[in-house]
Amino acid sequence: MLLFSLDQLTTEQQAMDVAERLVDEAIEASTASRNKRSKIRTVEAKIKRVQKKCVVMQWIKPIEKLKRSFNMLEEMRGELDVQMWGI
């Protein structure tokens, strides 16, 4: 689990480092076998927070990396919803 504070993100490089860690966390959440839905929701919330900071600071590279991770998590959440209704 990645713990950070938004006020610690002061440079684009730091945001890229956090984005890299969030990508790893997104992969772990999408492949989890237990509490998958809550883990995905938690990582999505973290990604949204960092994306908003990057938009305000006009950092483009971290936004692109986070967007791909967020899209992956949305797909996984959609698959979970389909599986739930398919039972």
Question: Tens digit of pLDDT per residue, the chain (87 long)?
Answer: 667 788 889 999 999 999 999 999 999 999 998 999 999 999 999 999 999 999 999 999 999 999 999 999 999 988 887 876 655
Distance CA 50, CA 21 (A): 12
What is the model's pTM?
Answer: 0.85
Determine the residue type at 45: A
